[in-house]
């Protein structure tokens, strides 16, 4: 059984989705990407991350956005637990 790449634990960063085994949040990865950083640059800044973990963070965000059917202007309650596994 594969381990989840993205986890949420209320004891770590207040339950924000993070890369498993780290304190790197999905939000941080997306922030860096939206600021124009490449995957290579993110990996250079966070050498303990693997490319697959960055891909998992993006896949998590994509799935989260796809699940939302209401307008973005409405309040969205936070997710308390979600795991995403990367197929190899």
Domains of the chain: 6-67 (1.10.10.10)
What is the pLDDT confidence band of residue 72, given thresholds at 50, 70 and 90? low
Q: How far apart are the C-alpha atoms of 20 and 60, rounded to whole Å?
A: 13
More confident residue, 40 or 66: 40
pLDDT, residue 3, reads 82
Lookup: tokens for 86: 């990367």
Residue 82 phi/psi, 5° resolution?
A: -155, 135
With left for phi above 0 and alpha for psi between -120 and 50, is residue 19 left, alpha or beta?
A: beta
Residue appearing with tokens 């936070």: 78
Residue 50, pLDDT above cutoff 90: yes
pTM comes to 0.73
pLDDT, residue 57, reads 96
């Amino acid at each position: 059984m594969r381990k989840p790449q993205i986890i949420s634990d209320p004891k770590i960063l207040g339950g924000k989705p993070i890369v498993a085994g780290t304190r790197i949040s999905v939000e941080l990865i997306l922030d860096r990407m939206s600021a124009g950083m490449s995957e290579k640059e993110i990996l250079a800044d966070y050498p303990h991350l693997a490319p697959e973990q960055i891909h998992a963070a993006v896949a998590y965000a994509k799935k989260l956005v796809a699940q939302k059917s209401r307008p973005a202007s409405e309040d969205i309650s936070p997710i308390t637990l979600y795991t995403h596994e990367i197929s190899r």
